Amino acid sequence: MLAVRDDRRQARIQRVFDEYMDFRKNNKTAGFDGLQKAGVATLENDREIRDLADRIVKHGEWDPLTPRDLLDGVDLKKLFDIAAKERVNWSSPGADVEAFIQKHNLK
């Protein structure tokens, strides 16, 4: 049962990773915007999102969760769920991760 659960977890992370990398290869987007568009909100929890970001970095890309110190103590699942619900466009000039975190009391 644990092996099946881990396989599903890895498949979810890989699916979002593949989408993110496709965006990167085509220079469409990156960072928070790339994660959001790649479907990060479909991951199940904070750990899966952080594992996804680590996988992206290990693949030679910039850390999409930069700056990490700003995200210490933040539940990324909650952050991206709220962002998806509110249709946040992270690439817009007014998008501010720190302000978003404060507005929603995520830290």
* Model pLDDT for residues 19-68, shown as the tens digit of each residue: 999 999 888 888 999 999 999 999 999 999 999 999 999 999 999 998 88
> 101 falls in which pLDDT band (50, 70, 90)?
very high
Q: What is the pLDDT of residues 57-96, one digit of tens each?
A: 999 999 999 888 899 999 999 999 999 999 999 988 778 9
Can you tell me the distance from the alpha carbon of 81 to that of 83, in angstroms, rounded to the nearest whole number? 5
Can you tell me the distance from the alpha carbon of 66 to that of 7, in angstroms, rounded to the nearest whole number? 28
With a cut of 90, say whether residue 10 has pLDDT above it: yes
**What is the pTM for the complete model shown?**
0.91
- 31-50 burial code (b ≥16 CB/10 A, e <16): bbbbbbbbbbbebeebebbb
Angstrom CA distances, 42 to 8, 11, 35, 49, 99, stand at 12, 11, 11, 10, 23
